[in-house]
A and B are shown apart, each in its own frame.
Chain A
Amino acid sequence: MKKLGCTSIISALVLTTSMSAQLSFANDYPEKTVEVVVGYSAGGGTDVMARTIASHLEAYLGKDAAMVVKNYPGAGGQIGFTKVATSDADGYTLGTMNLPAALALTYDRQADYSADSYTWLANFVSDPNTLVVSKKSGITSVEELIEVAKEKQGAWTVGLASLGGNDHFSAIQFANAANIKLTHVPFKGAAMARTSILGGHVNMGTMAFSQTVGFDDELQVLAVLSDKRLPQAPNIPTAKELGYDVEMGSYRGLVAPAGLPEATLKTLKVALDNLSMDPDFLADMKSRGTPVQYRSGMSYESLAKEQNDIAAQIWQETPWK
């Protein structure tokens, strides 16, 4: 009894120093189920990624670690993003993060989070946007596209998956870079927007590259809005090399609330780094149409800051709402 009291006093003293907090976390984490919050419905792209990561990451967290994915859809993901940002930073609540969408939301409305609310763990998927038209349109290059759009003087329509999303930003940025006017026609989801482009009801699209896969006979991808040409489509030029400085994509990754204890962060980082090299996991992700492009820690954080600045700039110049 005496010994127990002694220990508790000592440990209480020791706990006040961050040093031992780290030690105790390093030993214990994870000692209960880790929850992964997804701000979108079950079955969507982000949800599938979260579930794939969760099922493979358990093994690397060790000690019979269990992860459970919970969906809090609504308000364009805001409910989920807010939930992660305002949770205890103990490593038991992680969340999926969608850039630039999540940060764009903080500009067009009141939000209880910002880029500083998170510990940026790792980005897994990056899906650049494209400039795309229907094959039936006969347009084969970005230059032709700009020429036709200029002729139409603002009546050139671009089909979007939603407002304030990456394809919306792409359209705004491209219009600015090419000095043309576009009429935005938002649809409910990327598939509907794509169908409308194929049916000739809208003139062009800025959908993510993964959305164009499988439509090689119907869609003409004029350019990708990425830094470099895509390994899976080396013949498609980037907008940058054509002289239009536009870079946009959708980035899906994993975050935790800001202020995660060092030791927990380290445990997670090691596990995630190991996961990113697991051939089973990589094959699993690839089979779901989202090959992994891993960026962790500082690199992910700087990506987030960059996307945040772009969203802020666009909101200032051309508010979308």
Chain B
Amino acid sequence: MLLDAFNALMDIWVLVAAVSGIVTGIIIGAIPGLGPTMAIALLIPVTFTMSPIPAITLLLGVYQGAIFGGSISAILLNVPGTPSSAATAIDGYAMARKGEGGRALRVALYASVAGNIFSCLVLIVLAEPLASFALNFGPAEMAALMLFALLVIVLFGGGVRLDAALMVLLGVFASIIGLDPIEGTPRFTFNSFAMENGLQLIPVLVGLFAMSEVFLKLFQKQSSIKEPVDLPKIVPSKVRFVDMWRMRATLLWSSLIGTFVGILPGIGSTVPAFMSYGLARARSKQAHKFGQGADEGVAAPEAANNAVTGGALIPTLALGIPGDAVTAVILGAFMLQGLAPGPFLFRDYGVEVYAIFEALILSSIPTIIFGLLLFKVAVHVIRIQPRHLFPTITVLALLGAFSVNNSLVDVWVMLGAGFVGFLLRRADFPLPPLLIGLILGTPLEQSVRQAMLTSNGSLDIFWNSGIALALLGLTAISILISLCIPLLRKQRQQKGSSNV
């Protein structure tokens, strides 16, 4: 199977897709303010007419490239392209100020690749057994899992919990639009049959993450557009394999954190990046060097935020529950190509799925090559101010939204989502929980109602299933933990101050 999949990859179009994806990703990611989600959102329509393997290789390439690209602007400018590279900026920018920007970028690149490869290996080992376990996931278990996922985003997604909770609820509310999943009653469609399928993911994604950026900058005061800053000089430097090998424990821990946090739907890559940064500092014998430009301070978050991809693909492929915008899009691409996730995905489409896994690992090679090549270019790329790209982004967004279903309604949905996204971002609300709410809203409703139908209206179905009970237990424990952490912290602080 692994060999068949490898053969399927030996196609010039797969290579072209991987390389163009990675290069585009690095460039988009390197431009301050533009991130991986936007890169993916803009490129999905391109993949519609492609066959599954190149299409998904392209999207994954864009994603990986953009995450690495984000670290370029984080390191050289202290402007993280994505929240997930904010942790990288701490030590990366410190190194860049010392003239070690080149070294920081190389460490980031190699750590990204290490994290990516590690999580792919975990994916290959775990995905198939977990997928066959998925047969035990009926409506009740699915409902419990999705409830858990939504709660985890609110509790541990970072940021203010009330904000996240509001955004999740807004997303779930938006998912009500369309035909209800059990009876087929139209809800909030205003008699338009184009709205019967509800808000389509891709127009909403493009609107929230690409168009809102344009609106945001459009309404920004002129004075806030900064003059190009002076870039720190890049002194030629080398990172030898020994240097990376010295950090093997850090890389391993960070990749583990990234992968397993990635499996939990919805958290994203910011939390694991900061978690592993914290862990690396705690484990280090030279903790004082952190923040002053420590190699490990760059390597840890980069390994973690790249490892998330592999982890997030596990629930996506096994259960059809995407963990974030990127996996939601990949899930959409799978469905579009007729590959239905679930226990039989690996049996029926094993070659395609393993080819995609292998593509994910092998794309490390072009990532390194083009990452190294694009360092010098990147210095110019990060000088590009996003406002110069907004006309292009606007056109791509309009085109992308239209091309999903050849429907003008989707264009309005995209513009509407862009405007709502703009308002929410102006008010500092986080958008990812909104998107997860929208993605999981309908399946959650469907699962709960299916469970009630099969149990004849009795809630016992949730208590009688071990899996559902365990998941509900986990949900309760998570709530308890999140309530206890601030209390414990307060106590510790009080103790600390009383000792002094």
Contacts and interface: CB of A to CB of B under 8 A. Distances in A.
A188 B443 contact: yes
Given A41-B336, A44-B338, A188-B443, A79 B407 contact: yes
A198 B344 CA distance: 11
A154 B455 CA distance: 11
Secondary structure call for the A interface: loop
Contacts of A48: 338
Interface stretch (A9-17, A68-76, A240-248, A258-266): A68-76
B338 A74 contact: no
A43 interface: yes
Given A44-B338, A79-B407, A163-B184, A201 B193 contact: no
A195 interface: yes
Contacts, number: 96
Contacts of B336: 41-43
A55 interface: no
A192 B185 contact: no
Contacts of A109: 193
Contact of B405 (A72, A187, A196): A72
A195 B135 contact: yes
A78 interface: yes
Given A42-B49, A164-B184, A74 B194 contact: yes
Contact of A72 (B49, B320, B338, B407): B407
Contacts of A5: none
Interface string B360-391: 00000000000000000000000000000000
Contact of B139 (A70, A154, A196): A196
Contacts of A185: 139, 450, 453-454
A321 interface: yes
Interface in A66-110: 70-76, 78-79, 108-110
Interface string B186-206: 000001011011000000000
Contacts of B446: 186-188
A200 B340 CA distance: 19
B48 interface: yes
Interface in B38-79: 48-49
B453 A157 contact: yes
With most chain B CB atoms within 10 A of its CB, the pick from A72, A74, A199 is A74
Interface residues of A, number: 42
Interface residues of B, number: 38
A188 B181 contact: yes
A153 to B, nearest CB: 10
A76 B453 CA distance: 23
B453 A198 contact: no
Contact of B135 (A163, A164, A199): A199
A196 B184 contact: no
A189 B181 CA distance: 11
B454 A320 contact: no
Interface string B434-455: 0000000001001000100110
Interface string A183-220: 11111110110011011111000000000001000000
A195 B343 contact: yes
B454 A201 contact: yes
A80 to B, nearest CB: 10
B406 interface: yes
A9 to B, nearest CB: 42
B476 interface: no
Contacts of B191: 110
B4 interface: no
Nearest to B453: A185
A155 interface: yes
B243 interface: no
B135 A186 contact: no
Contacts of A157: 453-454
A199 B135 CA distance: 5
B344 A195 contact: yes
B229 to A, nearest CB: 45
Given A42-B48, A188-B181, A195-B343, A214 B348 contact: yes
Contacts of B343: 195, 198-199
B443 A74 contact: no
Interface string A151-192: 000110100000110000000000000000001111111011
Contacts of A45: 338
Given A75-B193, A75-B197, A202-B454, A108 B406 contact: no
Contacts of B405: 71-74, 79
With most chain A CB atoms within 10 A of its CB, the pick from B194, B407, B454 is B454
Q: Which 8 A-B pairs have the closest CB atoms?
A: A201-B138, A191-B340, A321-B184, A75-B193, A199-B135, A163-B184, A75-B196, A43-B337
6 contacts: A75-B193, A76-B196, A109-B193, A186-B450, A199-B343, A201-B454
Interface of A: 41-45, 48, 70-76, 78-79, 108-110, 154-155, 157, 163-164, 183-189, 191-192, 195-196, 198-202, 214, 320-321
